[in-house]
Amino acid sequence: MYLHWCDSSRFSQPRGMTMTSLLPSPGDGNCYYILTEDCAYGSKYFQAGNMCFCSERSYLRNFSDDRPPACFLKVIMLDDSSTVTINIGILQPVREEMAVFLLAISSHNERLNYFLERLSLEAALRAVPGQKVMVEVDRQYFPGIIRYIGSIYKNASPVLSPFFFGVELQGEGENRGRSDGSYHGTEYFKCKRNCGIFLPFSRVQFTPTPDDSYGKQKPKLDTEEVVPVKVGDAVSFYVDEVPTKGIAMAVYREGTQWFVKVCPEEEGTTDIFREIPMDSVVKESLPSLFSLFESDMGLGHPTQMKREINESGEECESGNSSLEVNSMVQITLDKGNQVSGIIRWLGYLPQIKHKMAGVELDEDKGVTAGEWLGKYYFHCAPKRGLFVKLQSCQPDVRFQCSHDSDLSLVDYRGQEVLPQAPDSFPPLRNEAAVRVLRGRMKGIQGHCNSCYMDAALFSLFSCTSVLDSMLFKPFPLCDRNVQSILRDEIVNPLRKTGFVRARSVMHLREQLTEKGQCSSFTNAEKDPEEFLNLIMHQILGIEPLLKLQSGGQKEQDCYCYQIFMDKQEDLVVPDVQQLVEHSFLSSDLKLVEIPSCFIIQMPRFGKEYKMFSKIIPSLELDITDLLLDSPRECCVCGDVATLECSECFKDKVFAATGLKQFCSSCSRQVHSHYRRKTHKPTRLHIPEEFHSRSARGSQQVPREKMELFAVLCIETSHYVSFVKYGPENEHWMFFDSMADRHGDENGFNIPTVTLCPEVAKYLDLPLAVLALEQPRDMDGVAKRLFCDAYMYMYQSKKMALYK
């Protein structure tokens, strides 16, 4: 099976796409599209992510009702204005307002990823000047304010010009920009020198506006705007002729009318917000603002706030000296409502004598995104931040171990069952993955030899949806109880809050023990493939991920592929591509169809012996030559191949990667050499449709590639995982479900997720240099990725749409 030929039913139906759905809203003039896979046309080659268009008139001429359905569409590529004919199966329609933002992303692969994920793109469509954002500059994020949205190229394409965001950098971002609001001599906005920057939306982290929850788009204002009240000011106003005080949480304008969003004192810190016209609000003097912190209102019980006099006679605070940044705490509000969160900042705010804590809450019950009086002290999602006195914070009892009870799984002491999340949450990508997943007590909490399962689940569901069908699809043998535990107790909490408690995983392990008729799943060491085979095959009964054929025999089905191969003296530091090709060739295997997910176990013998001291991750796995009965490319001239030679694969004269197949003329020439005259090439089957077109000598064989999304590693019987959360080589995170521990035998494990951009440094090294790198000298956790890899996971995003 090969998916580059015209088969409208195969491409259109799984996506719910009819021929007319390729046409955006009528009257646009042009219809815009993005390529979802690589495409060759004559001597030209277009990567997935390229964009193109055709006129509405041309579209209607091709797909009028009185003509048979067309499989191809003539379009004009936006990159080079060339006219090409493309299979409609690899085209996805794009609205013009989306296309202008996508064009600003220069990387085709990154552009396609953002189009498929949509979240950031939709946020860009909603963005407006004046909105506060976080922007990526030199691989760091800094606060800023959108000042301009639009084109910055004078000589842009007359068809469509890319849109950029002009941002004025604030706070720590000042002097890290590139301009004063001008670009190539044209002024788009005004700001201080080196405080302006123009960026594509992919490098902008959009902060929802204050009233997103009401479906309104009211951007926050810069504190420099000339208005009577600013965010953070103490204000007074009247409610039923009763004077009331509060804090201004947002200031915005609707038409010509200004409004202030106020959190009243008497309503509690987070319970109610009031939207009041600006002319009905009076700004209070500064001490009234800070009186919020002098009282005990909303900041815990007075009995929890102890004071003592130090030797110098100064009053100081005590009682919670063990709390520090990243401590998990609980805070009691004025009406007895309790909220929990993580301390993100400790210190002193201007003119407040108490030591304060900036807390990121677990729920949207805060009043800020880490900002206080125009300055960011930490960063979190809107309505998740809260500043309170440090003494108001108490250690989160859910994570305290009890010495007079049996071993718990962190069991959120006193809470047997967490409410299940009724909604489904998408996988986390890019900045969202960093914001939700990074930190201590993040990921999936390990307990009692569960690391094999923790690492596998985190890899498969945190940042990709390739196997989300396991969570919803009613398979014939599906055990709904196991499926609901997996979806509602593990995957949804992981994607929503970034944390899954050990109790939830133990619940799944108990079900696996019962359904799998194996008594050791709740306590014994296992391997990831044993867990995956059990839950996919025996319990959920999902369709096998891989369909293989060996030497023309009957098809074989499997969920994970184990690499088997003899020791190769010439492979010192191989990459995954080489290992897969050697293994397939030695076993005479072919893939019957393109898999949506390809899980590959590295060649190792037991947990102590590794065949290779290092293995290089192949970020892309080219499976074109591994597919059964698919068109192949001659490795000499690039024409369509008709013969394959397994002996030539071992010949060092040829490239180290790629199976060796030839067209008829190249095969005769290659095998005329005296060393290769005894070789016995085998004939390849070429699809009739492709073969007839290639005879004209103008057909280039497209490549079928899968992308790496996770790697499981093992060292001394302990599994960890690396997950690729974004498109760049630096976008890796490292997860360990048992990174640290609180307490002894009655304690609990602390799972941790850290970023590991150092991986990119070694991916870019020449092979000879990487081979000489000593594992102990490698930065960060990179050594574990290169030296301890156990299982690689690849995905095909387009095939995931159909399975």
Catalytic residues: 451, 718
> Cα separation of 445 and 784, whole Å?
20
> Cα separation of 301 and 335, whole Å?
11
Under a CB-based contact definition with an 8 Å cutoff, are residues 487 and 730 in contact?
A: no
Which strands, in side-by-side order, build the sheet including 274-277? 274-277, 257-264, 242-254, 234-239, 282-283
Q: Residue 71, Cα to own-chain centre: how many angstroms?
A: 34
Q: Residue 80, Cα to own-chain centre: how many angstroms?
A: 31
Residue 716: name the closest of 659, 784, 772 by CA: 784
> Cα separation of 370 and 378, whole Å?
5
Amino acid identity for residue 803 in this structure: K
Amino acid identity for residue 281 in this structure: V
> Cα separation of 32 and 53, whole Å?
4
> Cα separation of 316 and 300, whole Å?
18
Taking the chain, what is the end-to-end CA distance rounded to the nearest angstrom?
15
Output the six-digit token pair for 444.
Answer: 């999936």
> Cα separation of 283 and 297, whole Å?
21
Burial of 719 (0-12, 13-18, 19+ CB in 10 A): buried
Under a CB-based contact definition with an 8 Å cutoff, are residues 612 and 801 in contact?
A: no
Amino acid identity for residue 616 in this structure: I
- Only one residue has tokens 């923790």, namely 454
Strands 705-715 and 274-277: unpaired
Residue 278: name the closest of 253, 258, 248, 251 by CA: 258
Work out the number of other CB atoms within 10 angstroms of the CB of residue 517: 9
Output the six-digit token pair for 332.
Answer: 């009691």
Output the six-digit token pair for 170.
Answer: 């604030």
Amino acid identity for residue 395 in this structure: P
Q: What is the DSSP secondary-structure string of 498-559?
A: SEE-HHHHHHHHHHHHHHTT-TTTTTS---HHHHHHIIIIIIS-PPPSEEEEETT---EEES
Alpha carbons within 13 angstroms on the beta-carbon side of residue 342 total: 19
Q: What interhelical angle do 502-515 and 451-461 show, nearest 10?
A: 100
- What does the buried/exposed string (b/e) look like for 288-320 if buried means 16 or more CB atoms within 10 Å of the residue's CB? bbeebbeeeebbbeeeebeeeeeeeeeeebeeb
> Cα separation of 628 and 642, whole Å?
13
What SS3 string covers 201-216?
Answer: HHHEEECCCCCHHHCC
Strand, coil or helix: what is 369?
coil
Residues near 692 by beta carbon (within 8 Å), at least 6 away in sequence: none
> Cα separation of 27 and 57, whole Å?
10
Residue 170: name the closest of 223, 207, 210, 126 by CA: 223
Write phi, then psi, for 739 (nearest 5 degrees): -65, -30
Strands 604-605 and 609-610: antiparallel
